[in-house]
Amino acid sequence: MTVKTLLKTIVQVLAGAGVGLVLCASSAYADDIPNQAGPAVWTFGSELDVLPYITGGYYGSAFVGCSDWRLRAVAARTTLPSFLVTNGFEEKRTDAYALLVDRFFGARRERLEGLWIGGGGEYWRSRIRTEASSQFAYYSNVVLTAGGGYAWKVSRHVYVNPWVGGHFVVSGERKIQVSGETYEQPVFTPEVSVKVGVTF
C-alpha cells in the first residue's frame, strides 16, 4: 500500500466515522429534548466554507430558517488535492450546486445553534485530466448528500460551524474516458471542513 493510498483511506474512514457518529448522536439526543412551542421566527443568512478556498475554489451559500429547520442553496467549486485523486490523473475540479435541508437539535435549536443534521441533492459538473496530457475531460453527476455539524455562535450574528458529510453518486457518468485512459468516479466522497456563517 502506497502512502497516497493510505492517506486516501484514512480520510475516507475518518469522514465516514464522523458522519455515523453525528447521525447516531443527534438521533439519541433528540429524545431528550423537551417539546417547546412558540411563535415561528424566520432567520436568513449566508455561509462560507473554508475548504474550497484552500483548494483554489469558492463556496457561497444562502439560507432561510424557521423554527429548527433550515433550507440552504449552495454553489461551490473545489479542486481535489493530488493525493485524493486516482494515480495517473490530476487537476480534478468540481462545480457543485446543491439544495439542502437541515434540522437543529437542543435548547437553542430555534436560533439555528448547536447540533444539526441534514441532507439533500446536488448537481456536480467535473473536469479531470491525465498527468501526461493537458486536455481535460468533462462529466456530470447527480449526488445525494448527508452530514452534520455543530454551529457555535461567536457573536450575535456570526457563528463557526465545523461539519462532516458524505456525498453519494446516484446517476451520471462513472467511467470517463480521459486521453485514452479510464477514470472511475467514486460512488462515495467524504468531506470534513469548517464553515463561517452570518445570520440576519
Q: Quote the pLDDT of residue 38.
A: 58
Going from the C-alpha of 8 to that of each of 61, 107, 154, 189, 195, the distances in angstroms are: 28, 37, 33, 11, 23
85 Cβ neighbours under 8 A, 6+ residues apart: 92, 128
Q: Quote the pLDDT of residue 22.
A: 45
Cell of 26: 443527534
112 and 74 Cβ atoms separated by less than 8 Å? no
pLDDT (tens, 9 = 90+) of the chain, 200 residues, equals 454 554 454 445 445 444 444 444 444 444 444 445 556 789 999 999 999 999 999 999 999 999 999 999 999 999 998 888 999 999 999 999 999 999 999 999 999 999 999 999 999 999 999 999 999 999 999 999 999 999 999 999 999 999 999 999 999 999 999 999 999 999 999 999 999 999 99
Q: Quote the pLDDT of residue 2.
A: 55
Query: Domains, the chain, ranges and CATH?
Result: 3-33+44-199 (2.40.160.20)
104 and 116 Cβ atoms separated by less than 8 Å? yes
Q: Quote the pLDDT of residue 20.
A: 46
